[in-house]
Amino acid sequence: MNNSFLKNLFVWFIIFASLMGAYQILSEGKKEYNDLKYSEFLNVVDAGQVLQVEIKGNEISGEFLMPAGDGKPEYFKTFGPVGDELLIKLSSKKINFNFISDQESGLLGFLINWGPMIFLILIMVFFFRQIQAGGKGAMSFGKSKARMLNKEDNKKNFGDVAGIDEAKDEVQEIVDFLKNPKKFTNLGGRIPKGILLVGSPGTGKTLLAKAIAGEALVPFFIISGSDFVEMFVGVGASRVRDLFAQDKKNAPCIVFVDELDAVGRHRGAGLGGGHDEREQTLNQLLVEMDGFESTEGIIVMAATNRPDVLDPALLRPGRFDRQVVVPKPDVKGREEILKVHTRKTPLHKDVELKVVARSTPGFSGADIENLVNEAALRAARSDKTTLDMDDFEFAKDKVVMGSERKSMVVSDHERKVTAYHEAGHALVAKLTPGTDPVHKVTIIPRGMALGLTMQLPTEDKYMLSKDYLLKSIAVLLAGRAAEEIIYNERTTGAGNDLERATEMSRKMVTEWGMSEKVGPIRLAQKEGAVFLGKDMSSRTNHSEATSIEIDSEIKEIIVNQYNYSLKLLKENEKMLHNLANLLLETESVNAKQLDALINADNPKTPPEDETPSDSSGSGSNNDSGWSGLQSDPTAALKSIEKA
């Protein structure tokens, strides 16, 4: 007889005892009848001690006064013939009597008598099964919600992962160690206890973990960080203990915690105090990963896109020994990801995945998967049997710029203003050497924009020069400049352009040290969030005079680039009209059409000394002012200018 059987037997005994107690409580309100012989009943009637009588077939019941009682009525029950003589006798004694039908359903009577008892039994059985549900029931709050994956549940492997070769090589080492540990231990090495996958959303962190589960011939437990914490105090820590208890029984094994920042945030943050439920969960996780008890054979993997908010104790060696960066793919990686997602997709012979990869800079793996899916949906709507380049181009525009708002009604004047606005962006970008090539110009409303000018870089950029940034600001301000030249008015359509140009200029001055007046000093302070244990308000470590100088430099950069765009467009005003008219006619202009228009008009391009530069003293127009590896090209510059 095992412990499990004894435990179940004890639980059922407790349930039975509870039900009997409940039944006794429910039965206390029932009437207690004194059984009388029929002759005794007749004597009591003759003595005038019967108060009332109920007759149901041959069953006679009612209330009477005991001869030696305390004067309180009691209940009696007897069986006998009910005839005219009895009824006459009851009437003569002025005893109230009534008849009760004996046709009442036996089932109804059973339910009335035993219904509460049956209901209690069903409730107790339900809760007992919930307790036995292995961590998924309502009563098992402290059980871990981790799910163990096997080959049948997961079909992913390393062949499904592309574009992140370096990250894949690092986690491949984990699988090799689990398959052949002596290869490492013979040299005195040990496998890392924890591996943290860090990267932007959609780069493939969870996919990489699924691939490891498919490759490793060991149990693989997967759980989300939010699954630990509940509204009940102590549940999170209990689930952590239960998780590692399961892992020790199945070692060697891999545990994957998705979205670790949900439970691993910096301790001492916010207003919860030291007894905050999330902090207790984190404390238990720290102890289980590297405490007094050994966790040999358990490899903890986790994924997050917010490593900056994690508690330092989680990131020390012995817990998460290794951080694997999962970056956005480069052009070669994007091509490999496209090949993975189009393996089961019929492609037309004109499709060149290399061209598609080159035209999608900054796309993550999830973005590329969405791109292929949108292209397939568009081909299906068109009743095609294969995907062609038009489908990929349509999908790219939809993913990058949003869906076309064909039902939107735009007045003729606003449509013309939009056409000149986008023509200004496109011409300055095309006529200024060193800017990203213009891929498409459209005045079809997409998303929140009335028109869009899309630029695609020829290669992935990881550092941005000062010259490139100044030219990018000039392109952003060209839409407002075109509106002023043609209509001598300023609209709200340039609001997003001005916001991005100002942000870029501020970063040049305060973060990237690209102003000679201010100097190569970082003056910007990151604002800490109160829930991360930082100050709520931003701090400044420079004087008011420096702030005035910063504002002056930012304004001078923007004004200079705006004047450059204004001058360039005035010198090529004929081309501005031609491009705007072409947009009004066709609604969209691609790179080839734009090149043909420019070559036909033979524009006046600016000489080298007239290209945008910080002529106000903020620096020269050469490439010496690099922002360094700490710059963020994605945040600093985006490839779409909105009307």
pTM higher than 0.75 for the full model? no
Per-residue DSSP letter, 511: T
Q: Helices marked H in 521-590 — which ranges?
A: 544-571, 573-586
For residue 217, what are the CA distances in angstroms to 180, 246, 366? 11, 17, 27
For residue 28, what are the CA distances in angstroms to 23, 75, 222, 306, 357? 9, 15, 53, 63, 81
Q: Which of 291, 299, 259 is nearest to 179 (CA)?
A: 299
The first and second tokens of residue 251, run together, are 């070692």
Per-residue DSSP letter, 606: P
Average pLDDT per consecutive 10 residues, the chain (643 residues; last block may be shorter): 60 69 58 74 78 78 70 77 77 76 56 68 65 49 66 75 86 80 78 86 87 80 80 74 83 85 77 63 85 71 88 87 88 91 90 88 90 93 91 87 76 90 94 90 84 83 89 94 92 90 93 88 64 47 85 94 94 92 90 87 54 41 29 36 40
Q: How far apart are CA 522 and CA 512, in angstroms?
A: 7
**Coil, helix or strand at residue 25:** helix
Report the b/e string of 207-239 with b at 16+ CB within 10 A.
Answer: bbbbbbbbbbebbbbbbbbebbbbeeeebbbbb
Count other C-beta atoms under 10 Å from residue 434's C-beta: 14
Q: Per the residue annotation, which of 215, 369, 393, 422 is the catalytic one? A: 422
DSSP letters for 436-471: PPEEEEE-S-BTTBS-EEEE--SS--SS--HHHHHH
pLDDT of residue 558: 95
Strands (E), 73-209: 74-79, 96-99, 147-149, 194-198
Contact indicator for 64, 73 with CB cutoff of 8 Å? yes
Q: Any idea where the domains of the chain sit in the sequence?
A: 14-103, 147-325, 331-401, 412-642
pLDDT of residue 240: 85
pLDDT of residue 419: 93
Active site residue 166: no
Name the phi and psi angles at 641, rounded to 5: -105, 120
pLDDT of residue 602: 61
The first and second tokens of residue 327, run together, are 């970056």
pLDDT of residue 114: 67
Contact indicator for 419, 443 with CB cutoff of 8 Å? yes
pLDDT of residue 637: 38
For domain 14-103, give its CATH number from 3.40.1000.10, 3.30.360.10, 3.30.720.210, 3.40.50.1970: 3.30.720.210
Contact indicator for 281, 233 with CB cutoff of 8 Å? no
Contact indicator for 641, 476 with CB cutoff of 8 Å? yes
Looking at domain 147-325, its CATH superfamily turns out to be: P-loop containing nucleotide triphosphate hydrolases (3.40.50.300)
CATH of segment(s) 331-401? 1.10.8.60
Query: How buried is 162 (Cβ within 10 angstroms: 0-12 exposed, 13-18 middle, 19+ buried)?
Result: buried
Q: How far apart are CA 415 and CA 422, in angstroms?
A: 11
The upper half-sphere exposure of residue 464, i.e. CA atoms within 13 Å in the direction of its Cβ, equals 26
**Coil, helix or strand at residue 516:** coil
Map tokens 């910007």 to a residue: 524
Query: What topology is assigned to 412-642 in CATH?
Result: Methane Monooxygenase Hydroxylase; Chain G, domain 1 (1.20.58)
The upper half-sphere exposure of residue 3, i.e. CA atoms within 13 Å in the direction of its Cβ, equals 0
